[in-house]
Amino acid sequence: MTTYEPIIGIELHAELMTNSKMFCGCKVVDSVEADPNTAVCPVCLGMPGMLPVINQKAVEFSMRVALALNCDIQHHNIFARKNYFYPDLPKAYQISQYELPIGTNGWVDVELEDGTQKRIGIRRVHMEEDTGKLTHLDSGGSLVDYNRSGVPLLEIVSEPDIHSGEEARAYGMKIRQILRYLGVNSGDMEKGVLRVEPNISLRPSGTTAFGKRTELKNLNSFRALADGTAFEIARQTQVLDAGGEVAQETRGWHDTKRITFSQRSKEEAEDYRYFPEPDLPPLHISDEWIAQVRATLPELPDAKIARYQAAYGLSEYDAQVLAEERGTAVWFDEAVSAYPDAKVVANWVINNLFALMNEHKQGIEQIRVMPAGLGELLKLVDDGTINSSTAKEVLAEMFVGGKGATAVVQAKGLAQISDEGAITAVIQQIIADNSDQVAAYQGGKTKLMGWFVGQVMKATRGKANPALVNKLLQERLNE
């Protein structure tokens, strides 16, 4: 039997979170929440004679992405018309980039499930505009909402360097993470602001020529990307094993049946009659402009993870967890500025803060605990004002009430008891009340020490300084 090598290249579309649209002043609105056709004008409705104007912010956002994906930035940019008719495209052409995209020749490293990394080439990054949104009614007929028409859209096209559904998923997730880090896209796939389309073909192992590909459209999750790709690989294998040929076509993914199905034969580029957009001048991007945009790039996830391991000695896993989202990483970085033992801060964030965020269903942007607040809390532990189990209580209180650490400790009377006299009085009472245990301890059952410590803690509602309790108990019991 022939074995096959799957070859996969991914087209990913990301809407850019600019204030206004790509070629007009209309606001970019939430496609789910805004009323239909409330953010439209003659330009994005494709009225005759209206002229587009390039959105500078959208170009800068595109440059951010292209630079973050290690692309060369094209100095001479041309917009092109991609001609086709569809009711969601009132101009009957989409303004896109064709021969001269803004970014070319990039790469991104993705993390595979076995913990290894793999470099995937980025063929091109180009600017275009989104189409309107059609809703097909069960009762017949369709509705169209042009709010999305003309929203800046970035297309990121990978090299065919991907070889499985899992790799496809890892690639998609990495691109999404970078887009979110750059602040250009929310990554909210349910809202359709990020869409992925894998192109999939097989070739006999050991050969070099590419086979016929199918393209999967309208995947709305990375799970669909992984499963749809794996399904296509299996389906094409069967077709080839049976002596058949794979048809070059566009296929859909059925999310409940979990199968792909044929939609239409694949159109070729020449079908679109691309030609340079006559209503827009060439867009020149200077080296100075590139340098300015490059200077605004945040530290990206890979760099953060490497730094957390090298500079702070964190495990790879902890570093990844902290760097997963930019908001969390920035919060952590600020907490480390307030309290320089990064390992301690990392443990508190991962073990305690994340637990509170889960419990209260809050993201890092919503929480009221400030990074410096965690630093203040940890200093109270260091100087003996509270012990670390009380500190967890205090953090929970800070989380809910939004107060600072010192304020919570004072308001709740949680300060640790480090007064020898007060603790000694408690110990004497416990010794008096528990003569059996005292006798057993003194008869050699030294394990009872833990029980005595527990009694003192109970009597002081956890506030006694544990080191002092131990010392004083030893003294009394060994008298």
- Residue numbers at the binding site for Mg ion (CB under 5 A): 11
Which of Mg ion, Zn ion, ligand ADP, none does residue 189 bind (CB under 5 to 8 Å by kind)? none
CB of 400 to Zn ion, least distance (A): 44
Among positions 29, 41, 259, 459, the unique one binding Zn ion when judged by CB under 5 A: 41
> Least distance (Å) from ligand ADP to the CB of residue 233?
11
Q: How far is CA 247 from CA 41, 165, 189, 242, in A?
A: 41, 20, 29, 14
Q: Which is nearer to ligand ADP, 109 or 420 (CB)?
A: 109
Collect all residues with Cβ–Cβ distance below 8 Å to 303 and sequence separation of at least 6.
Answer: none
| Residue located via tokens 């048809």 | 247
Q: Closest separation between CB of residue 105 and Mg ion, Å?
A: 19
Nearer to Mg ion, 266 or 379 (CB): 266
Q: How far is the CB of 197 from ligand ADP (least distance, A)?
A: 8
Q: Which is nearer to Mg ion, 200 or 431 (CB)?
A: 200
Q: Which does 44 bind (CB under 5 to 8 A by kind): Mg ion, Zn ion, ligand ADP, none?
A: Zn ion
CB 95 within 8 A of CB 277: yes
Complex with Zn ion: residue 95 or 357, whichever CB lies closer: 95
Beta bridge partners of 452: none
Residue type, 114: D
Least distance CB 9 / ligand ADP (angstroms): 2
Q: Annotate each residue in 230-269 with x if it binds Zn ion (CB under 5 A) or - if it does not, as one string.
A: ----------------------------------------
Query: Which of Mg ion, ligand ADP, Zn ion, none does residue 431 bind (CB under 5 to 8 Å by kind)?
Result: none
How many whole angstroms separate alpha carbon 43 and alpha carbon 52? 7
Is the Cβ of residue 158 or residue 385 nearer to Mg ion in the bound state?
158
State the Cα–Cα distance between residues 104 and 73, nearest whole angstrom: 7
Cα gap 135→145, rounded to integer Å: 8
DSSP E strand stretches across 219-293? 249-254, 259-265, 275-276, 283-284
CA distances (Å), 219 to each of 12, 208, 222, 254, 321, in order? 10, 29, 8, 9, 26
Q: Which of 347, 293, 353, 309 is nearest to 327 (CA)?
A: 353
Q: Work out whether 95 is an interface residue with Zn ion (CB under 5 A).
A: no
Q: Which does 196 bind (CB under 5 to 8 A by kind): Mg ion, Zn ion, ligand ADP, none?
A: none
Residue with smaller CB distance to ligand ADP, 10 or 225? 10
- List residues near ligand ADP by CB under 6 A: 7-11, 123, 157-160, 199-201, 210, 213, 215
Q: Rank residues 96 and 387 by Cβ distance to ligand ADP and give the closer one.
A: 96
Q: Note the residue count of the chain.
A: 479
H/E/C letters for each residue in 18-60? Answer: CCECCCCCCECCCCCCCCCCCCCCCCCCCCCCCCCCCCHHHHH
Q: Which does 81 bind (CB under 5 to 8 A by kind): Zn ion, ligand ADP, Mg ion, none?
A: none
Question: Interacting stretch for Zn ion, rule CB under 5 A, among 44-52, 84-92, 280-288, 379-387?
Answer: 44-52
Rounded-to-integer distance, Cα 367 and Cα 9, Å:
39
Q: How far is the CB of 199 from Mg ion (least distance, A)?
A: 6
C-beta closer to ligand ADP: residue 81 or 463: 81
CA angle 209–212–214, rounded 5-degree value: 135
Binding-site partner at residue 9 among Zn ion, ligand ADP, Mg ion, none, CB < 5 to 8 Å by type: ligand ADP
Per DSSP, the three-state class of 115 is coil
- Quick one: 272 or 451, whose CB is closer to ligand ADP? 272
Residues 6+ apart with CB under 8 A from 193: 14, 15, 31, 185, 186, 187
In the complex, the smallest distance separating the C-beta of residue 279 from ligand ADP, rounded to whole angstroms, is 23
Between residues 11 and 299, which has the closer beta carbon with respect to Mg ion? 11
Does position 26 interact with Zn ion (CB under 5 A)? The reply is yes
Minimum distance, C-beta of residue 340 to Zn ion, in the bound complex (Å): 51
Q: Is the dihedral of CA 145, 194, 162, 104 positive or negative?
A: positive
Task: Name 413's Cβ contacts closer than 8 Å, sequence gap at least 6.
Answer: none
Burial class (CB in 10 A: 0-12, 13-18, 19+), 295: exposed
58 binds Zn ion (CB under 5 A): no
Which residues, 6+ apart, have CB-to-CB distance to 355 below 8 Å? none
The partner in contact with residue 14, picked from Mg ion, Zn ion, ligand ADP, none with C-beta cut-offs of 5 to 8 angstroms by kind, is none
Residue 224 belongs to what H/E stretch? helix 222-241
Q: If binding is defined by CB under 5 A, does position 24 make contact with Zn ion?
A: yes
Residue 184: contacted member of Mg ion, ligand ADP, Zn ion, none (CB under 5 to 8 Å, by partner type): none
Binding residues for Zn ion (CB under 5 A): 24, 26, 41, 43-44
